[in-house]
């Protein structure tokens, strides 16, 4: 998820708090929630790869040499 809302972050921070139950960690919980929600999910990565194939991605795409053939095959 690229841009989570404050409400989504608040809910995730509350879940984190409930899991460890420690008071006084609100800032750490909030920051952890933001990191988790901003991290691309597997679904986002699959969607990006599908879009790239649909658009006929650039043949000179910058991909690590070990992954270049895998990239060309569409993972």
> Which pLDDT score, from 0 to 100, does residue 74 have?
61
Q: What is the pLDDT confidence band of residue 57, given thresholds at 50, 70 and 90?
A: low
Q: How many other C-beta atoms lie within 10 A of the C-beta of residue 59?
A: 6
Specify the 3-state DSSP secondary structure of 6: helix
Question: 7-48 pLDDT, tens per residue?
Answer: 999 999 999 999 998 889 999 999 999 999 998 766 655 656
Where do the domains of the chain lie?
Answer: 1-39, 41-75
Give dist(CA 26, CA 30) in Å, integer.
Answer: 6
The residue-averaged pLDDT of 49-66 equals 57
Q: What pTM did the predictor assign? A: 0.53
> Which pLDDT score, from 0 to 100, does residue 2 have?
78
């Amino acid at each position: 998820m690229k841009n989570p809302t404050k409400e989504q972050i608040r809910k995730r921070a509350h879940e984190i708090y409930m899991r460890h139950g420690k008071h006084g960690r609100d800032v750490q919980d909030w920051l952890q929630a933001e990191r988790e929600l901003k991290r691309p999910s597997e679904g986002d990565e699959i969607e990006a790869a599908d879009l790239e194939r649909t658009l006929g991605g650039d043949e000179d795409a910058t991909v690590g040499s070990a992954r270049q053939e895998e990239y060309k095959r569409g993972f």
